Chain A
């Protein structure tokens, strides 16, 4: 049995300990906002917060989540995610949309750490998130816009 919390709810699940968190979220909990893109931590589509830190859920076995708090795109709250989502909407960042939950998780984590990121900060923080539609121009623009909103 693995005990952990997802989006504020407690779970106690009997699942093979090597099962990646990604497939527990999707197949068991039906939290489908977290996406599968590569399975080897190369694309970032599966990014979730594990105890407040962005993690690739596709390579995180459920056994490593014991006692932890997981937050997915569906459960994100706070000024950073609000500003990021508003900027993403204002600028119409998404095209196909598949990677965007992961992009938004990484962008939110960046702004929690670095309130006014430079282009280099953005390059570093977002390096692990692939957008196959190449919406990168707008992702960069939206992160700067969200940072500006948070400045007030």
Chain B
């Protein structure tokens, strides 16, 4: 990473520059920010007499950078100095803090920056206009003659200057402008700079507060014994031994299992261990992974339901060569390093929660319904999360409901902290769906792909959740996105989808459908290109139509920065893959070595086009992290069920994670663009797997059609 002088300048600007984030520890606090901040022109901005500007961030901070990114947008139009900016998580309030891409408050699909780009800039511009109007009135000068720069309001002719703080009282009395003018890109001062993150300081000295760090008076910690098979229910409970554990206060059955309440975490763990629960497996999934793979393979062989069609694939009857392959992708756990947790406190018919809530609007409704109280009597404080990768984005609101059921089942007011252990997390479902792909391409003698057929079979993520309504009867495209919508020109194409039903719960896992479609498509395409004697990069460029300039841009860029000369060089393998996901274009090249018959990735080059690069350093960080997250999965990860239906993995010893020794060097190039910004949290993930598959095939001759690469090899 290139640390620019500007960045150093910011850091050197003051020791107290990156002050620990203030935390909304209660309803009074979250709403009452305005009480200590006399100027609150809208739901997003609080300016205090101390000159500090606090931005209420409507998207959860789980590492991907919205505290920094959204504050940058406000600061840009407000003409604030970066050192005066603070960020705070906005509470659940669908009216004020909806994601404009969803119509409900929530973070997902790498939309935080895209949906906030104009909204946050307008919020900042409105506040700026009101500060200027206040200064004009106070100084008796025309507003047009006033300038604002780095947090200083000034009138040159009269020599008058002021910080924001001194103007807050007067600014609050100004009319809120409807449509304040926004800057043009050439006038940007902060957008496009590597501004330091607002949450780094508190994450390096132990002061950052996450859900698990919240302690309320008299709080009990609660662990839940979940059924060992998906879809099983509690039949009977013997809680005598559990209640005998010192510190265990009560045991209650709830809909998801049996809850053990204790005065501390360790007592809750021991109490849960001492429980004797009999489970009713009548509705449970009892198939093992091999059986599930077999039924998915059957579904792809049957062709699935057509979800995309172009030309007539049946008319391609006599290609010179037909290439076929089947790809298998296991269930994957997200495994955020902070396991799931939530704190709930009930008092006099009201409830307040503190947790890393990724879909506040859904959770808000679900908790009110579970407790049987009006939604106005439930408040949710959205805290930072120690990772999510999709795990906390629950259409089912299962975590919030479990917390609410625990509070309700207690039968009294009080504070309760629900904690999932690592074992609960890995065995607890909500996995990236197990998936099988079948691909078939017909090619001509003169190097053309005449037909392309891709059939996908897996479970739908949306089916069975409140979000299923969004489908309006259409197939769940998150199951096959990325197999559909390809930019490549094939003679004819057909995409099919087979939907499997199972009680195993599934969820979006960082980059959703692209986690498997990108691998199947880009690894298979590379095999087809090789069979036609074509280069990975030149071959792809030939398949792109002239209007595909952004696709071409990232592919050409990654070829340039990696010094691409072909699939092998100096005893190393090189593979390339391209994916557009969440409106962002990414191409990656992987360099791989053979270490004792196993792939070792030494370097990854990445070219990304995400429109305007609001904070290039955050974009680079997300590409680096996405590459590492993907590499961890393709090398090591699989959740499997033994015959009978029980999950075989339990902790990081048998669900291994990428370690520092396996992390490649990463070089990222960001394409210059004036297009509106798009997401970066997920798009770095998809191309890595297929780029590795292609590099490893080039080096070793082995085609990796089943993931993970190192199944059973513990690092």
A interface vs B, CB < 8 Å?
16, 19-20, 23, 26-28, 30-40, 42-43, 45, 72-74, 85, 88-101, 104, 122-123, 126-127, 129-141
Q: Which residues of chain A are near B661, meaning CB under 8 Å?
A: 123, 127
The total of interchain contacts (Cβ-Cβ below 8 angstroms) comes to 183
Which A-chain residue is minimally distant from B201 (CB atoms)? A89
B256 to chain A, nearest CB (A): 21
Q: Is the CB of A98 within 8 A of B338?
A: yes
Knowing A85-B204, A130-B652, say if A32 contacts B63 (CB, 8 Å). Answer: no
Bitwise interface map of B from 44 to 68 toward A, beta carbon under 8 Å scored 1, else 0:
0000000000000000001111000
How far, in whole Å, are A32 and B215 apart by their CA atoms in the complex? 10
- Determine whether B658 belongs to the interface, using a CB cutoff of 8 Å to chain A: yes
Q: Is B212 an interface residue (CB 8 A)?
A: yes
A-B contact pairs, 24 of them (CB 8 A): A26-B213, A27-B215, A27-B221, A30-B215, A36-B265, A38-B652, A72-B206, A73-B205, A74-B205, A85-B205, A89-B200, A92-B197, A92-B200, A92-B617, A94-B63, A95-B625, A96-B63, A96-B338, A97-B202, A97-B384, A129-B660, A130-B659, A133-B387, A135-B621
| Docked-complex contact B204 and A32, CB < 8 angstroms | no
Inter-chain contact A97/B266, CB cutoff 8 Å: no
Known: A26-B265, A28-B264, A136-B663. 14 other contacts (CB 8 A): A32-B213, A33-B207, A36-B339, A37-B339, A89-B196, A92-B617, A94-B204, A100-B203, A101-B206, A123-B660, A127-B660, A133-B63, A134-B658, A136-B628
A37: chain B residues within 8 A (beta carbon): 337-339, 422
Interface of chain B residues 351 through 391 with chain A (CB within 8 A): 384-389
Interface residues of B in 589-637 (CB under 8 A from A): 617, 621, 624-625, 627-629, 631-632
**Does the CB pair A98–B387 fall under 8 Å?**
yes
Shortest beta-carbon contacts, A-B, top 8: A33-B206, A134-B628, A98-B386, A97-B203, A95-B63, A96-B63, A73-B206, A136-B663
How many angstroms from the CA of A97 to the CA of B199 in the assembled complex?
Answer: 9
Residues of A within 8 A of B8 (CB): 90
On chain A, the residues within 8 Å of B629 by CB distance are: 132-134
User: Which residues in B have some Cβ–Cβ distance to A below 8 Å?
Assistant: 1, 3, 8, 11, 18, 62-65, 196-197, 199-210, 212-213, 215, 221, 246, 264-266, 335-339, 384-389, 421-422, 617, 621, 624-625, 627-629, 631-632, 651-653, 657-661, 663, 665-666
Taking CB atoms, residues of chain A closer than 8 Å to B246 are: 16
- Residues on B with C-beta less than 8 A from A122 are 660
Tell me if B's interface is mostly helix, strand, loop or mixed: loop
In the bound assembly, the distance between CA atoms of A38 and B627 in angstroms comes to 23
Contacting pair A89 B338 (CB below 8 A)? no
B663–A43 touching, CB < 8 Å: no
Instruction: Give A82 Cβ to nearest chain B Cβ, in Å.
Output: 11
Task: Give the docked Cα–Cα distance between A34 and B202 (Å).
Answer: 13
Instruction: For A19, give its contact among B11, B221, B266, B337 (CB under 8 Å).
Output: B266
Contact of B203 among A19, A39, A94, A140 (CB under 8 A): A94
B206, B339, B652, most chain A CB atoms within 10 A? B206
Given contacts A38-B651, A134-B658, contact A90 B1 (CB under 8 A): no
A139 to B204, CA, bound (A): 12
A36's partner among B196, B207, B212, B666 (CB-CB below 8 A) is B212
Chain B residues positioned under 8 Å from A74 (CB to CB): 205-206
Q: Nearest-CB distance from A26 to chain B (Å)?
A: 7
Q: Considering the chains assembled together, what is the distance between the CA atoms of A38 and B426 in angstroms?
A: 11
In Å, the complex CA distance between A125 and B3 comes to 26
Q: Which residues of A contact B210 (CB under 8 A)?
A: 97-98
Of B64, B627, B631, the contact of A95 (CB 8 Å cutoff): B64
Chain A residues with CB under 8 Å of B209's CB are 32
Which of A20, A43, A88, A127 touches B200 (beta carbons < 8 Å)?
A: A88
Question: In the complex, which of the residues B200, B203, B204, B628 has the most CB atoms of chain A within 10 Å of its own CB atom?
Answer: B204
**Which of A32, A42, A123, A129 is the one whose CB lies under 8 Å from B206?**
A32
B638 to chain A minimum Cβ distance, whole angstroms, is 17
Q: Which residue of A lies closest to B245 (CB)?
A: A16
Task: Name A33's closest neighbour in chain B (CB-CB).
Answer: B206
* Contact A126 to B204, CB < 8 A, known contacts A16-B246, A92-B617: no
